[in-house]
Amino acid sequence: MLNKKTLSRYSELARTIEKSPEVDSSKTRILFCDGTNTFMRSIAANNMIGENGMHIGGVSGFLLSLGFAIKTVRPNKVIIVFDGKGGSLRRKKLFPEYKAQRNERKRIISSLFKSKKEEQEAICFEINRLTLYLKSLPVNIVVAENIEADDAIAYFCTDVFKNDDKIIMSSDKDFLQLVNENTKVWSPTKKILYDEEKIKEEFLFLSQNFIIFKVLTGDISDNISGIKGLGLKTLQKHIPFLFESRKVELQEVINFSEKYSTLSKTIKKIFEQKEKLYLNYKLMQLSDVNISDHTKIILTNDIKRPANRLNKFNLSKLFLEDSMNNQIKDLNGWIRDIWWALEMHNLKQ
């Protein structure tokens, strides 16, 4: 069934956003798409069923979301990164309960399927289908075993493309810790481009201190608990230096909590739970990811390969098979407005 509310939202945003200026093709401007995050978010939000009776909402939602991001930020290179097999193993060795709640949660689109097995089969079908679409679009696809997409994207941003203009597309707030003068984060759910100024405006501290905020408050989505009762307001009251115009290290927070533990129960809890905070930092920090040299070589080789060629014939075939014209009315216009400039830039490389 067609999710008209989702379509209406994208249409309204497309009408209101001003046309972005053309990007200087001589300067690299990369869009990193957190593929796993984008797909899972899309399949949960879009219940579209194709004429063949197969669920296709994850594919259509992914393409709409990615296309909107490209039209907004105007990159000249797009790299889509998916979690590899065994991606969570490293963090689970540190913390066995990492993402444990995801195995127990309710089915994502339970209203459409009779069992979890049936839903999983549909998800596998959609992932395979999405791969066919992406192979016909001018993008690079990266999947590395034993690491999560977060780690691969962080490595690219802090090492391989350190000095290039980069935008990360994800609803995962963990990426906000990477924001600097060369790196921004596009939130596909909020339709907000986070730069240093926007993070300061919304969270009241520097982007470099976002990791300390996360370590202290935790991350429910990854089953990582923080210090109970901590939030922006309590941190402003008890750890005011976190909001100063300088980078704050976790050890400084620990030292402060030890020195002033008698001032409040909150500060005392921070010191008492310092081992949890050290663990949280290891689990959550992306500024220096733990990736083997062998994996780094694989990742670097993946992005050095030429991007896929734009294949309009294959796209047309897939669109017809999946009744995608219900979601994207004008395939030729969609290709022209979103993908053609990327294809031309890739051909010049």
What is the mean pLDDT for each group of 10 consecutive residues in the chain (349 residues)?
49 42 65 96 82 82 96 96 88 85 59 76 91 97 91 96 96 96 97 97 97 96 92 95 97 96 94 96 94 92 93 94 86 94 89
Task: Report pLDDT for 18.
Answer: 40
Taking the chain, what is the end-to-end CA distance rounded to the nearest angstrom?
Answer: 42
Q: How do beta strands 29-34 and 224-225 pair?
A: unpaired
* Cβ atoms within 10 Å, residue 214: 22
Task: Report pLDDT for 17.
Answer: 39
Torsion, Cα 314 318 321 323, to 10 degrees, reads: -130
* Cβ atoms within 10 Å, residue 228: 10
Alpha helices in the chain (DSSP H): 4-16, 35-45, 57-73, 89-94, 116-134, 149-155, 196-203, 210-217, 232-238, 250-259, 265-272, 274-284, 293-304, 312-321, 331-334, 340-348
d(CA 68, CA 20): 12
Handedness of CA 242, 225, 157, 341 (dihedral sign): negative
Domains within the chain, CATH numbers bracketed:
26-201 (3.40.50.1010), 207-284 (1.10.150)
Task: Report pLDDT for 105.
Answer: 52
State pTM to two decimals: 0.89
Q: Are 212 and 242 in contact (CB under 8 A)?
A: yes
Least Cα distance to 232 among 205, 195, 255, 196 occurs for 205
Structure token digits, residue 293: 């040299």
Torsion, Cα 179 184 186 190, to 10 degrees, reads: 60
DSSP state at residue 264: -
Residue 222 is which amino acid? D
Task: Report pLDDT for 112.
Answer: 64
- Cα dist from 282 to 92, 94, 112, whole Å: 11, 8, 39
Length of the chain: 349
Structure token digits, residue 274: 């310092």
Least Cα distance to 123 among 46, 55, 216, 189 occurs for 55
Scan for tokens 């008890």, then name that residue. Answer: 238
